[in-house]
């Protein structure tokens, strides 16, 4: 039943050998990995304008140079990450690069902030997508948590089905979105060039009295939120078709070009059309309305924007399981994150991401806006560490032309570091949680690693010296009466050894006497020991009895507790039987060094 539902949702299991077919080509990769980055154009320009408006409408012209600066940073990041892809063809996320060059702790710091960040990405994006939907259909507003959860559920299932299938689903809307934005930019430029745009625009380069450097930096850092998602490609190299690094680098360049063009285009149009941020209408929506009017094209652009925001969450679904896999391989996260599911994805990572982001949505009732600065910091910390790592690498290895590469990474590192500091400085009330989360995550990583190391030490044997050794055997069979199940168990026990003893727990003398008489009549060739329980517990007397046996024979014998058990045919029948045997097993299992054996008897009816 369960497995049928699973088949329907997830699809047939795939052989391990099918893995190459499940990998990504350049164009599919662009669809899977770029939605987070590309969706940023829906809000990047707006973030800048929002900060500038604090100095009045006259200050909005600064958005153009600031956008150019962001574009410059994007260029640096792309160059920098391109270098990383070629340096780390097996996957060069911030975790790997930082660990490799700056030590394990720094690597875990980068990896931990990325993991937390991916969870935030899914929560924030699904909530933002929901907002877009409920703006169009206000009657759905009270169901926003439910809608966000449905979005997360759909993304989770899609990703459990596997990478390529979800890529096929995603490719169309992402390419349509890109086309729509370019159409919008082209039409907007034409209209502006032919004089169809409103003339009322603040003068470019005019000095505005209350614009401080602080304000400009804040606007710049806000604009940098458009750059989140750029790292996705370099994390995901192992998901690419061969030659993986070349495909990845090409994908990165394509993504950077598209993102840069769209971002600067939107920023320019926003300036030319004199758009000011408005609570009720997004900047993109205002530009689209000015260019096309509220017609079919306008609604198509809005719908695609909403869709792309939802799909941005999907980037995290590619990145999180891969990063979790790498951390698990290094024993900083549970082994379970290394298991490939039926469809060759790392199912546990996908499910973990889905569950935790759903929890965030529930806890914040879908109002996750306040998480956005947190989420930006969570990206820029690993950005910085990754580039610092690359710097160290160039200095250590000194390959031909290393000085240029060092320069690229140094500029990148300093910029991202500044942005991180600006974020912490200007928005401390929103980002302080990072200083709580990260230590906890780091501590967990180390605790897990310590446990795995200890376990491995404890379980390791010296193959030359340590061999299996043979001992005697004593078998204890708890019995509840004279039944077929007990008979089967005794048959089994007697087949293995002659030291078999049956134990019966009675609640009063009458009860015990009756059992002893029955046993004598049956005479199965096994000694019966009866115990009296004053507290109506079966477990405690048996545990005590086993203590005694252990004390007497553990030196010479293996002690086995043989638990007769009949297994009902239908699930509901299970609740009709006292599950003392399950309870006994659980107790023995946790507290005793005895072997626990179950002799099953399957009921036919």
Which residues, 6 to 65, sit near a second copy by CB under 8 A? 13-17
Q: Are 115 and 320 in contact (CB under 8 A)?
A: yes
Closer of 175 and 589 to a second copy (Cβ): 589
Closer of 398 and 451 to a second copy (Cβ): 451
Interface with a second copy in residues 314-353 (CB under 8 A): 334-336, 339-340, 342
Please name the helix (run of DSSP H) or strand (run of DSSP E) that holds residue 175, with its range, or none: helix 163-193
> Of the ranges 30-38, 221-229, 286-294, 584-592, which one interacts with a second copy (CB under 8 A)?
584-592
> Of the ranges 34-42, 100-108, 197-205, 590-598, which one interacts with a second copy (CB under 8 A)?
590-598
Interface with a second copy in residues 353-372 (CB under 8 A): none
Is position 598 an interface residue for a second copy (rule: CB under 8 A)? Answer: yes
Is position 497 an interface residue for a second copy (rule: CB under 8 A)? Answer: yes
CB pairs under 8 A, 24+ apart, for 363-370?
Answer: 364/123, 364/127, 365/145, 366/127, 366/130, 366/144, 366/145, 366/148, 367/127, 368/120, 368/123, 368/124, 368/127, 368/128, 369/124, 369/127, 370/430
Closer of 47 and 347 to a second copy (Cβ): 347
Is position 496 an interface residue for a second copy (rule: CB under 8 A)? Answer: yes
- Interface map 498-517 toward a second copy (x if CB under 8 A): ---------xx---------
Is position 531 an interface residue for a second copy (rule: CB under 8 A)? Answer: no
Closer of 370 and 573 to a second copy (Cβ): 573
Is position 463 an interface residue for a second copy (rule: CB under 8 A)? Answer: yes
Which among 88, 95, 134 has a CA at the least distance from the CA of 114?
95
CB of 486 to a second copy, least distance (A): 8
Instruction: Assign residue 486 a region (left: φ > 0; alpha: ψ between -120 and 50; beta: otherwise).
Output: alpha
Residues facing 57 on adjacent strands: none
CB of 133 to a second copy, least distance (A): 29
Distance separating alpha carbons of residues 189 and 521, to the nearest angstrom = 102
Choose, by CB under 8 A, the member of 7, 294, 365, 471 that binds a second copy. 471
Q: Are 311 and 303 in contact (CB under 8 A)?
A: no
CB of 410 to a second copy, least distance (A): 40
Q: Are 171 and 252 in contact (CB under 8 A)?
A: no
Residue 153 CA, distance from chain mean position:
13
For residue 204, the tally of other CB atoms under 10 A from its CB is 10
Is position 206 an interface residue for a second copy (rule: CB under 8 A)? Answer: no
Q: Please state, in angstroms and as integers, the Cα–Cα distance from residue 453 to each residue in 329, 332, 443, following that order.
A: 13, 10, 15
Is position 400 an interface residue for a second copy (rule: CB under 8 A)? Answer: no
Q: Which stretches of 444-512 are assigned E, i.e. beta strand?
A: 472-478, 500-506
Choose, by CB under 8 A, the member of 213, 467, 510, 555 that binds a second copy. 467
Radius of gyration of the chain (CA): 32
Q: Which residues contact 136 (CB under 8 A, 6 or more apart)?
A: 302, 303, 306
Closer of 195 and 463 to a second copy (Cβ): 463
Is position 182 an interface residue for a second copy (rule: CB under 8 A)? Answer: no
Closer of 451 and 552 to a second copy (Cβ): 451
Where does residue 582 rank: exposed (0-12), middle (13-18), buried (19+ CB within 10 A)? middle
Closer of 16 and 194 to a second copy (Cβ): 16
Interface with a second copy in residues 536-555 (CB under 8 A): 536-537
Is position 491 an interface residue for a second copy (rule: CB under 8 A)? Answer: yes
Is position 5 an interface residue for a second copy (rule: CB under 8 A)? Answer: no
CB of 505 to a second copy, least distance (A): 13
């Amino acid at each position: 039943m369960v497995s049928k539902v699973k088949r329907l949702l997830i699809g047939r299991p795939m052989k391990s050998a099918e893995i190459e077919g499940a990998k990504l080509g350049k164009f599919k990769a662009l669809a899977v990995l770029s939605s987070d980055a590309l969706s940023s154009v829906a809000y990047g320009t707006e973030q800048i304008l929002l900060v500038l408006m604090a100095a009045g409408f006259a200050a909005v012209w600064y958005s153009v140079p600031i956008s150019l600066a962001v574009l410059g940073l994007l260029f640096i990041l792309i160059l920098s990450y391109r270098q990383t892809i070629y340096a780390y063809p097996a996957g060069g996320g911030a975790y790997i690069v930082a660990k490799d060059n700056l030590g394990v702790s720094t690597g875990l710091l980068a990896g931990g902030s990325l993991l937390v960040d991916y969870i935030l990405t899914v929560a924030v994006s699904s909530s933002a997508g929901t907002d877009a939907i409920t703006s169009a259909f206000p009657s759905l507003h009270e169901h926003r948590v439910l809608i966000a959860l449905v979005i997360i559920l759909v993304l989770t299932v899609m990703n459990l089905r596997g990478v390529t299938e979800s890529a096929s689903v995603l490719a169309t809307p992402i390419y349509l979105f890109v086309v729509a934005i370019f159409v919008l930019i082209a039409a907007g430029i034409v209209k502006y060039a032919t004089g169809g745009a409103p003339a009322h625009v603040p003068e470019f380069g005019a000095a505005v009295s209350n614009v401080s450097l602080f304000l400009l930096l804040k606007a710049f850092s806000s604009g940098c939120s458009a750059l989140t998602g750029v790292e996705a490609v370099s994390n995901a190299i192992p998901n690419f078709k061969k030659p993986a690094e070349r495909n990845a680098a090409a994908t990165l360049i394509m993504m950077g070009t598209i993102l840069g063009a769209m971002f600067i285009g939107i920023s320019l149009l926003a300036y030319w059309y004199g758009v000011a941020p408005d609570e009720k209408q997004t900047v993109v929506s205002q530009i689209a309305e000015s260019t096309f009017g509220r017609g079919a094209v306008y609604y198509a652009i809005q719908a695609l924007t909403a869709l792309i925001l939802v799909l941005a969450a999907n980037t995290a679904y590619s990145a999180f399981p891969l990063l979790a896999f790498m951390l698990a391989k290094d024993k900083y996260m549970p082994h379970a994150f290394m298991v490939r599911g039926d469809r060759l994805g790392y199912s546990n990572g996908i499910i973990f991401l889905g569950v935790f982001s759903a929890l965030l949505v529930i806890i914040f009732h879908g109002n996750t806006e306040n998480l956005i600065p947190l989420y930006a910091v969570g990206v820029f910390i690993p950005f910085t560490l990754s580039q610092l790592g690359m710097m160290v690498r160039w200095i250590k290895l000194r390959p031909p032309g290393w000085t240029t590469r060092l320069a690229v990474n140094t500029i990148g590192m300093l910029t991202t570091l500044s942005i991180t500091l600006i974020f912490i400085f200007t928005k401390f009330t929103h980002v302080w949680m990072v200083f709580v989360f990260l230590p906890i995550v780091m501590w967990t990583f180390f605790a897990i690693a310590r446990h795995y190391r200890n376990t491995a030490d404890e379980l390791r044997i010296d193959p030359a010296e340590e061999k299996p050794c043979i001992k005697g055997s004593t078998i204890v069979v708890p019995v509840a009466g004279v039944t077929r199940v007990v008979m089967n168990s005794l048959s089994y026990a007697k087949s293995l050894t002659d030291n078999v003893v049956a134990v019966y727990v009675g609640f009063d003398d009458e009860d015990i006497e009756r059992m002893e008489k029955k046993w004598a009549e049956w005479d199965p060739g096994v000694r019966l020991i009866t115990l009296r329980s004053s507290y109506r517990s079966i477990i405690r007397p048996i545990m005590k009895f086993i203590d005694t046996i252990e004390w007497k024979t553990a030196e010479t014998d293996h002690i086995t507790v043989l638990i007769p058990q009949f297994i009902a045919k239908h699930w509901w029948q299970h609740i009709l039987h006292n599950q003392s045997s399950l309870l006994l097993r659980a107790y023995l299992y946790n507290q005793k060094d005895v072997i626990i054996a179950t002799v099953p008897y399957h009921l036919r009816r």
